[in-house]
Amino acid sequence: MKDCEQILLSAWISGDNKEHIKEFDHFTYFPELFEAIRKMRPKDINILTVSKTARIKLSELAKFTSEYMPVMYDPYYRTKKEEKIKAMLLDLAKDPNSITQESVEAVYKEFDTLHAVRVKEPTDLCESYKNELEKRKTVEPLKYGLPTLDFITGGIRRQELTTIAARPSVGKTAISLQIAFNLALKKHKVLFFPLEMAPFQLMERIACRETNIKHEKLKNPSKMDEKDKEMLKNFFEIYGPVVNPYLYIIDGVSRLAEIKRYIEHYKPEVVFIDQLTQLDENKKFNTIREQFSYMTQNLKAFTMSMDIPIILLCQISRSGENKAPTFTDLKESGSIEETSDNIIALHQTDEAIGDCTPTDLIILKQRNGKRDVKIPCMYRNEKFIFQEV
């Protein structure tokens, strides 16, 4: 119940569902904070005014509200309301003489508010679609940078969760970084969460791809000649002003609430998360499948509420390594196959030929388009780049 109270208070402080405050008489675990909020006018409630009224340090209140996500509100609100109704019924049972028409109606009223449906106007489908078509005329769609993939999918679309799935060491991070870098070059704001690699490792891959310096030399700079050093210097001079303002690499962040805050702060056009297995939450899960389902469902909710696309990387098991990935390989990864709008699988089709590894991009799912489409590519291992054949 402590979690319920924290989520409700955090929501009200954040400006959500403030109309519910008057429905409660007291909070058990945070009584002083609740009383301070209850006495304030709803329009005056924000983190600064609550900090001052409740005499709580702003930093402490910010930490208190940091776990809140809008998708968590309704179940916790219902739990708290049910607790209130249960307490009212217990009070009546303890003292039957207190049962009056008024007390019974009060209980019914609480039931009514609990089951009330927030009614909103129905969407005008024609008008909504017309507006979307107008946006598509004026706003350049985000592109993967791989022509066939962009043609079949229409590019990276708002409010969609796209999962890139592959077995280990097939190129998930490479292709996601390639897409992110190309978008940044075109001045699209990109937010990238590398949960498995350090920022310098990502930068090393970019430098390797954008210059002719061999990866072995970047790992051991003492082996670089003057030509290599000059190329690297030129690369940094170009990278700084051209890409840095658009490609935001945020390391050390793995919890959904933190990711949400960074999205709200930087307001990117697209978000990359590498990868699902490294996402964490201050919540106990009974199984890995339950944990992954929770993560993907919340990320899908983010795409809808924030009107952005999210590209999530997902690792699938090595079992059946020689055959192309299918939905069956995703079954242990929670609700990915149900929640994702698009699923793109990478599959190494043959042994490497020198620097190149034949790899198929397989569109396993596309909510609004063709599926089970294979796009032959070559993965250039030394340059960390995918090219369509």
Give the CA-trace dihedral at 316, 322, 327, 330, to 10 degrees: -10
Q: Identify the pLDDT of residue 182.
A: 94
Confidence of residue 323 (pLDDT cuts 50, 70, 90): confident
Q: What is the pTM of this model?
A: 0.72
Confidence of residue 344 (pLDDT cuts 50, 70, 90): very high
The domain 140-388 having CATH identifier 3.40.50.300: the answer here is: yes
Alpha helix segments (H runs only) across the chain: 2-14, 31-38, 47-54, 58-65, 73-94, 101-115, 125-138, 147-153, 172-185, 199-210, 215-219, 226-243, 256-266, 288-306, 336-339
DSSP 158-208: TT-EEEEEE-TTSSHHHHHHHHHHHHHHTT--EEEEESSS-HHHHHHHHHH
Average pLDDT value for the chain = 89
Residue 271 in 3-state DSSP? strand
User: Which tokens hold the place of 219?
Assistant: 């790992």
CA angle 56, 61, 67 (to 5 degrees): 155
Kindly list the domain boundaries of the chain, sorted by start residue. Answer: 2-115, 140-388
What is the pLDDT averaged over residues 360-384? 94
Cα separation of 228 and 247, whole Å? 25
Q: Identify the pLDDT of residue 320.
A: 62
Cα separation of 163 and 81, whole Å? 37
Is 34's pLDDT higher than 70? Answer: yes
Is 118's pLDDT higher than 70? Answer: no
Is 332's pLDDT higher than 80? Answer: no
Q: Identify the pLDDT of residue 290.
A: 87
Q: Identify the pLDDT of residue 140.
A: 79
Main-chain dihedrals φ then ψ at residue 361, nearest 5 degrees: -95, 120
Q: Identify the pLDDT of residue 111.
A: 76
| pLDDT tens by residue, 127-182 | 988 988 888 888 878 999 999 999 999 999 999 999 999 998 899 999 999 999 99
CB neighbour list of residue 296: distance below 8 Å, 6 or more residues apart: 161, 163, 276, 312, 334, 335, 336, 339, 340
Picking from 80-94, 183-197, 239-253, 300-314, which range would have the lowest pLDDT averaged per residue? 80-94
Q: Identify the pLDDT of residue 38.
A: 92
Confidence of residue 116 (pLDDT cuts 50, 70, 90): low
Candidate ranges 195-199, 326-330, 332-336; pick with highest mean pLDDT: 195-199
Q: Identify the pLDDT of residue 99.
A: 85
Confidence of residue 122 (pLDDT cuts 50, 70, 90): confident
CB neighbour list of residue 48: distance below 8 Å, 6 or more residues apart: 58
